Amino acid sequence: MAKLFQPLLLLLARVTDPELARMVQYLKVESEILRSRLPKCALVTPKERQRLLRFGKPLGSAIRP
């Protein structure tokens, strides 16, 4: 069972508090934009895309699936 939690703990140890705060901020903005589009199609305007890029750029590849 300990081996199950080890990868999760390693991941948490790698993420620093400032980076985690930036990730949360980016996800809040992304969620706000997408929710404003519901139930319509979730297309992002150029202005919204720029906003996501501004908040996502400091995170680098950390926000990629």
CA angle, 27 as apex, 58 and 7 as ends, to 5°? 80
CA angle, 29 as apex, 23 and 34 as ends, to 5°? 120
Ordered by start, the domain boundaries in the chain are 15-63
Give 39-53 pLDDT, tens digit per residue: 877 788 999 999 989
Return the amino acid letter for 40.
K
Give percent of the chain with pLDDT exceeding 70.
68
- Pairwise CA distance, residues 64 & 27, whole Å: 12
pTM over cut 0.75: no
